[in-house]
């Protein structure tokens, strides 16, 4: 059993020596990022000379190219994580500068004609030294080259590509940094409402709910301009490289293959779930009328309050949290991966300087005697976090020239602790939503840890977005299993959760899943449209993101009242990370459900099924996504099967709530 206290910072300072961030001695101070940046540039220059040197190389060109990519990614991925999570602004700024420099370096290399020709010609000149995995990774790198404008005819066009890439990074960073900033209230607003930190106050006063929602999501000219610039740069970059739009460019290697496939999938999903969503909306309307008989229509700002009321009647939230201490949840998750994968966790304190200040935990992962990698948990709630709950791959797996595997490092950002109220993980309690998010993000971490690929370019979550989201979504199904709940989660006295509590919790979580899914599908379609058919109108200022979102909602669920001028899109940071691929969550949810039903539902602890699934994850992106999904399921599902319109031997609604 885990009984690891979360020590105060003062105690850690008195008992541990200071090291550099993630073990890099250079990163005892922010200036170290500049040192690492210069070192990586030097190593890349040397490797570039080796790759383009002609025949007679000691190793195939693809191995040296992947070494070059690994040198960059080891620092760039760490810098990205530091940029959004570090509590010291100086480290965050230095990391962002480092990221900007690497963006320019990567795009300069991606537009190097000499490098491209050397890698492409290696398919012939080194054919006797390459196997199918080598050739696939070469093709993936060549695709990246070609998407980066390598075929552009003039130096002017290639220079524009690099400039656009830098502008996209800057616009994306600015947009993302402002998505979670609370609105600034004027004197009168502060007097009347005090604050507006949430769009969903759980208050029975409907006018107050409306004000908070509309004020939090008030249309921002600054955010709209930033989003417009991001879309314009992405659109120009896509067209410069021969694509119809950025949305078309983004679909390469995805499970649904192209823009039309993704567009059709989302519209089919809306058609499938709209009747059930309308029935759920009618339930909410009935609840609303019980409070105010004069109300004729449920509005967006009513949804969370009404859903919470109805779910709460089925299962009171407070009574379930006694089973969800962080200690219980971590023990439970470790039990699952131990029985499925033979994995063991060792919990340690990070040394001072190894990670930023705050409540954190280091987990060293082993399978048998083999060290697999490290996971850091950052569990503090703080405004300087530029993202919500999320997973960062700081270092990927890779087969090194020595024959050993580079071990992965992952960071999980979770918002569990606000202030210093809990002294240890056994008296820190989580809501069921927080537990589900923990399982989701740990699913990503397992994907990273289990990767044992030859190349870092295809390691762990370095695969198409929809495939990368399947392991995390599958872990949510484990959490929602009655057998898991009643076996693994215990209250402080050691009693496991009763079956009746587990079933009630699952029923409450499944309530309104069609409404919740529809919300995610609308956001997915918005992401696709803004980067596709609507891009030019957005760029020219003919329409706004609010106009596009309102149009989608009007078709998806016209009976719900909403503010057509809402700046909801201005708070949606996933535009930056997923750009025309947010729908991958829906594909991943459907795929994960199929895997759960066929492999784990009957026995969540089945070691044979666990080994098969671990093997699938170990490939990362070394095999095409459809092949990996076929390995997991035993067949390749069609788009219709994923939407639930058709299933082998059965038909059912996809439970795709996020």
Angle at which helices 303-314 and 259-291 cross, to 10°: 70
310 lies in the same domain as 325: no
Q: Does residue 79 lie within any of the structural domains?
A: yes
3 state SS of 398: strand
* Position 646 in a domain: no
Residues 326 and 464 in one domain: yes
pLDDT confidence tier of residue 313, bands split at 50, 70 and 90: confident
User: Quick check: 420 pLDDT over 90?
Assistant: no
* Counted domains in the chain: 3
User: How far is 227 from 558, CA to CA, in rounded Å?
Assistant: 26
Instruction: Examine the domain organization and report whether 140 and 250 are in the same domain.
Output: no
Judged against a pLDDT cut of 90, whether residue 418 lies above it is answered with no
pLDDT for residue 650 is more than 70: no
Of the given ranges (135-144, 414-423, 532-541), which has the lowest mean pLDDT? 414-423
Angle at 319 between CA 316 and CA 322, to 5 degrees: 150
Q: For residues 590 and 649, what is the distance between their CA atoms, to the nearest angstrom? A: 16
Contacts made by residues 630-638, CB under 8 angstroms, sequence distance 24+: 632/595, 632/599, 633/594, 633/595, 633/598, 634/598, 637/590, 637/591, 637/594
If asked whether residues 298 and 224 sit together in one domain, one would say yes
Comparing CA positions, the residue from 236, 252, 233, 61 lying closest to residue 140 is 252
The CA-CA-CA angle for residues 140, 142, 148, to 5°, reads 105
pLDDT, mean over the chain: 90
Domain span including residue 108: 21-148
Which of these three, 103, 118, 148, is where a domain ends?
148
426-440, 547-561, 591-605, 611-625: least confident range: 426-440
CATH number, domain at 84? 1.20.1050.40
Residue 402 has pLDDT above 70, yes or no: yes
At residue 338, the pLDDT reads 97
Most confident by average pLDDT, 148-152, 316-320, 478-482? 478-482
**Do 115 and 222 lie in a common domain?**
no
**pLDDT tops 70 at residue 342:** yes
pLDDT at 12: 43
Single pTM value for the model = 0.85
Q: Listing from the earlier edge strand, what are the strands of the sheet with 360-367? A: 343-348, 360-367, 370-380, 409-417, 390-395
Does residue 11 lie in a domain region? no
Q: Are residues 327 and 297 in the same domain?
A: no
Statement: residue 652 has pLDDT above 90: no
> In terms of domains, do 293 and 377 share one?
no
- Which DSSP string corresponds to 482-495? HHHHHHH-B-TTSP
What was the pLDDT predicted at 651?
A: 31
Residue 182 CB neighbour total at 10 angstroms: 12
**Band of the pLDDT at 427, cuts 50, 70, 90?**
confident
User: What is the DSSP secondary structure assignment for residue 596, as one 8-state letter?
Assistant: I
**Residue 130 within any structural domain of the chain:** yes
CA nearest 255: which of 566, 586, 601, 32? Answer: 586
For the chain, percent of residues with pLDDT exceeding 90: 74
Same domain, 358 and 458: yes
Count of C-beta atoms within a 10 Å radius of residue 540:
10
Which residues, 6+ apart, have CB-to-CB distance to 471 below 8 Å? Answer: 443, 444, 446, 447, 592, 617
Q: How sure is the predictor about 57, in pLDDT bands with cuts at 50, 70 and 90?
A: confident
653, part of any domain: no
Answer yes or no: is 7 within a domain: no
pLDDT for residue 4 is more than 60:
no
Q: Which of 582, 610, 629 is at the close of a domain?
A: 582
Name residue, tokens 């990519």.
69
**Residue 103 pLDDT:** 81
Separation of alpha carbons 216 and 622, rounded Å? 43
405-406 and 409-417 beta bridge pairing:
unpaired
The CA-based angle 269-271-275, given to 5 degrees, is: 115
Are residues 428 and 348 part of one domain? yes
- Local confidence band at 409 (pLDDT 50, 70, 90 cut-offs): very high
At 422 the pLDDT is 53
pLDDT at residue 646 in the model: 47
415 within 8 A of 388, measured Cβ to Cβ: yes
Residue 186, number of CB atoms within 10 A of its CB: 8
According to the model, what pLDDT value does residue 101 have? 87
Gap between the Cα atoms of 35 and 178, Å rounded: 30
Q: How far apart are CA 456 and CA 447, in angstroms?
A: 13
Is the pLDDT assigned to residue 43 strictly greater than 60? Answer: yes
CA pair distance 87, 357, nearest whole angstrom = 7
User: What is the pLDDT confidence band of residue 591, given thresholds at 50, 70 and 90?
Assistant: very high
One domain, residues 543 and 398: no
CATH number of domain containing 398: 3.40.390.10
Provide the pLDDT for residue 9: 40
**Residue 167: CATH number of its domain:** 1.10.1370.10
Asked whether residue 201 is assigned to any structural domain, the reply reads yes
**pLDDT of 575 over the 70 cut:** yes
Pick the last residue of a domain from 555, 582, 609.
Answer: 582
> Averaged over 251-257, what is the pLDDT?
90
Indicate whether 32 and 80 sit together in one domain: yes
pLDDT band at 111 (very low <50, low <70, confident <90, very high): confident
**φ, ψ dihedrals at 405, nearest 5°:** -95, 135
Nearest of 621, 576, 638 to residue 246 by alpha carbon: 576
Q: What percent of the chain has pLDDT over 70?
A: 93
pLDDT at 319 over 70: yes
- Residue 383 inside a domain? The answer is yes
pLDDT confidence of residue 11: 38
Alpha helices in 111-258 (DSSP H): 113-125, 132-147, 155-177, 187-193, 206-216, 221-240, 246-249
Looking at the structure, do residues 405 and 473 belong to the same domain, yes or no?
yes
Note the pLDDT of residue 656: 29
Tallying the residues shown for the chain, one arrives at: 658
């Amino acid at each position: 059993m885990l009984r690891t206290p979360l020590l105060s910072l003062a105690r850690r300072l008195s008992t541990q020596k200071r090291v550099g961030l993630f073990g890099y001695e250079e990163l005892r101070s922010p200036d170290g990022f500049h040192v690492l940046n210069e070192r990586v540039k030097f190593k890349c220059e040397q490797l570039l000379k080796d790759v383009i040197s002609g025949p007679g190389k000691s190793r195939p060109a693809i191995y040296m190219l992947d070494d070059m990519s690994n040198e960059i990614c080891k620092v760039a991925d760490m810098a990205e994580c530091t940029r959004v999570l570090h509590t010291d602004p100086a480290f965050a700024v230095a990391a962002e500068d480092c990221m900007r420099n690497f963006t320019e370096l990567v795009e300069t290399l991606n537009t190097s004609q000499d490098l491209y020709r050397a890698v492409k010609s290696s398919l012939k000149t080194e054919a006797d030294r390459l196997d199918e995995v080598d050739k696939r990774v070469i093709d993936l790198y060549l695709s990246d080259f070609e998407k980066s404008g390598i075929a552009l005819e003039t130096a002017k066009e290639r220079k524009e590509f690099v400039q656009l890439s830098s502008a996209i990074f800057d616009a994306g960073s600015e947009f993302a940094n402002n998505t979670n900033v609370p609105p600034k209230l004027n004197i009168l607003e502060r007097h009347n409402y005090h604050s507006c930190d949430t769009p969903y106050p759980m208050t029975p006063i409907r006018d107050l709910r409306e004000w908070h929602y509309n004020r939090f999501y008030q249309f921002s000219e600054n955010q709209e301009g930033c989003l417009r610039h991001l879309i314009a740069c992405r659109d120009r970059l896509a067209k410069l490289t021969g694509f119809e739009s950025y949305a078309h460019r983004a679909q390469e290697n995805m499970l649904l293959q192209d823009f039309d496939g993704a567009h059709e999938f989302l519209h089919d999903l809306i058609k499938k779930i709209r009747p059930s969503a309308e029935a759920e909306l009618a339930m909410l309307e009935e609840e609303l009328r019980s409070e105010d008989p004069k109300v004729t229509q449920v509005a967006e700002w009513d949804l969370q309050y009404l859903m919470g009321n109805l779910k709460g009647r089925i299962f009171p939230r407070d009574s379930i949290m006694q089973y969800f201490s962080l200690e219980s949840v971590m023990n439970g998750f470790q039990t699952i991966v131990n029985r499925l994968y033979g994995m063991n966790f060792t919990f340690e304190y990070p040394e001072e300087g190894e990670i930023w200040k705050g409540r954190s935990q280091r987990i060293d992962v082993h399978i048998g005697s083999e060290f697999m990698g490290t996971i850091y948990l950052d569990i503090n709630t703080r405004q300087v976090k530029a993202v919500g709950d999320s997973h960062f791959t700081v270092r990927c797996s890779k087969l090194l020239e020595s024959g050993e595997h580079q071990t992965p490092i992952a960071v999980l950002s979770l918002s569990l602790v606000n202030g210093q109220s809990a002294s240890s993980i056994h008296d820190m309690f989580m809501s069921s939503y927080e537990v589900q998010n923990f399982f989701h993000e740990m699913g990503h971490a397992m994907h990273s840890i289990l990767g044992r690929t030859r190349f870092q370019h295809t390691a762990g979550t370095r695969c198409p977005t929809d495939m990368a989201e399947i392991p995390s979504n599958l872990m949510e199904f484990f959490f929602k299993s009655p057998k898991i709940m009643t076996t693994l989660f215990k209250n402080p006295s050691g009693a496991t959760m009763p079956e009746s509590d587990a079933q009630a919790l699952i029923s409450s979580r499944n309530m309104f899943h069609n409404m919740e899914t529809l919300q995610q599908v609308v956001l997915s379609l918005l992401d696709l449209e803004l980067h596709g058919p609507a891009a030019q109108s957005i760029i020219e200022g003919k329409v706004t993101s609010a106009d596009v979102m309102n149009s989608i909602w009007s078709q998806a669920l016209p009976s719900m009242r909403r503010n057509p001028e809402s700046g909801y899109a201005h708070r949606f940071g996933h535009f930056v990370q997923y750009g025309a691929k947010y729908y991958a969550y829906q594909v991943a949810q459907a795929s994960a459900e199929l895997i759960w039903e066929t492999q784990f539902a009957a026995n969540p602890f089945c070691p044979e099924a666990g080994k098969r699934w671990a093997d699938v994850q170990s490939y990362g992106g070394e095999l095409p996504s459809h092949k990996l999904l076929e390995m997991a399921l035993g067949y390749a599902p069609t788009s219709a099967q994923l939407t639930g319109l058709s299933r082998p031997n059965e038909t059912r609604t996809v439970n795709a709530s996020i």
